[in-house]
Amino acid sequence: MPEQSLDHNLEIVRNRVASAANILVISGAGISAESGIPTFRTGGGLWDKFNPLDFATREAFKRDPVKVWKWYDERRQNAAAAQPNPAHIALAGLEQAGKRVFIVTQNVDDLHEQAGSKEVVHIHGSLWRLRCERDGTVLENREVPLSENPPTCMCGEVMRPDIVWFGEELPRQPVERIVHYLIEGGIDLCLIIGTEATFGYIVRWALQAREAGAMVVEVNPRDTGLGSVADLHLQGKAGEVLPRLI
């Protein structure tokens, strides 16, 4: 996108941000990549180096929980060393300015929360939670590195990462929060940041926000599958674009 066109679109979105009281944010791996956390699908992403069937399925975990946990332990160490970048900080700043900023993130790190955002819904789980499938126990665990591989529940069962794997449904409680938010309506702006939108529910939620009157704006360095959904595409890195909207 030519700089002149980008500046023009930035001005349009900046005006909408200024008047907005309620902003929906849908964030993906691209926003965390700027903090040094690898993406999954873009060039050099995790699934270019690792077979997801070996690390991100229930079958792989049952087959070799130690191998899976070693992989997640390395990801946890990487996430623990990461810091919020200007994009995370800009979104938290909008909230601190008195706007409602409801963040739906596909990311399993907590960089949004570290930056100060309060309403964050993790639809793919969290690196920092463990779950027992026998008794349903969910624990927060921030040990880096893990002291026990694999971690075990008090009931004796091996605990798994509380993360949505391939072939699994989204967790009910986060989805219900999003549905209730969308039903409430009154959304002025929907920012879709750093996601390839490969999941149908991302497109569906963006469309619902637009039908409710929101301007839908995509922030991404590349063209994605959201061309027909977004009103505007701000081409660039989130950490460079978002601070210019405030």
Q: Which H or E element spans position 135?
A: none
How many angstroms separate the CA atoms of 196 and 223, rounded? 8
* Pair 69, 150: CB distance under 8 Å: yes
How many angstroms separate the CA atoms of 53 and 9, rounded? 41
Instruction: Please work out, in degrees rounded to the nearest 5, the angle formed at the alpha carbon of residue 220 by the alpha carbons of 215 and 226.
Output: 55
Active site residue 124: yes
From the candidates 112, 124, 180, 233, which is the catalytic residue?
Answer: 124
Burial of 144 (0-12, 13-18, 19+ CB in 10 A): middle
Instruction: Please work out, in degrees rounded to the nearest 5, the angle formed at the alpha carbon of residue 245 by the alpha carbons of 106 and 96.
Output: 70
How many angstroms separate the CA atoms of 22 and 137, rounded? 34
Please, which residues bridge with residue 158 across strands? Answer: 152
Among all residues, which ones are annotated catalytic? 124
